[in-house]
Amino acid sequence: MANHKSALKRIRSNNKKRLLNRFQHKTARNAIKKLREITNKKEAKKMFPSVISLIDKLAKKNIIHANKASNLKSKLASRVASL
C-alpha cells in the first residue's frame, strides 16, 4: 500500500477515472451493437451521428486508439449505407 499522501490521492483518482472510462467504453460498445442490429435504414441514419459522436469522444480521451475509432466509423458508415 502507498505511504505518501499524494500516492493515496493518485490511487483514488485513478480508480475514479477507470470506472468512468469503463462506463463510457461499455456505453459506446452497446450503442455500436444496437446500430449493427438495426435493419431499418431510416432508424440507422437517425442513430448513426450519436454513435459516431460517442466513438469520437472515446478517441479524444484516449480510451480507444484513434485508428480503432476510424476503423469503427468506417465500418459503421458502410453498414448504414448498405441498408
Range of the domain at 82: 39-83
Q: Would 75 be classed as within a structural domain?
A: yes
Please report how the helices 66-82 and 5-37 are oriented relative to each other, as an axis angle in degrees rounded to 10.
20
DSSP secondary structure letter of residue 64: S
Which residues in the chain show pLDDT less than 70? none
> Alpha-carbon distance 4 to 1, whole Å?
9
Q: Would 76 be classed as within a structural domain?
A: yes
Q: Would 66 be classed as within a structural domain?
A: yes
> Alpha-carbon distance 71 to 53, whole Å?
14
DSSP secondary structure letter of residue 62: T
Q: Would 62 be classed as within a structural domain?
A: yes
Q: Would 54 be classed as within a structural domain?
A: yes
Q: What are phi and psi of 27, to 5 degrees?
A: -60, -45
Q: Would 10 be classed as within a structural domain?
A: no
In the chain, the number of structural domains is 1
3-state secondary structure of 10: helix
Q: Would 15 be classed as within a structural domain?
A: no
pLDDT at residue 2, as a whole number: 81
Q: Would 31 be classed as within a structural domain?
A: no
pLDDT at residue 19, as a whole number: 97
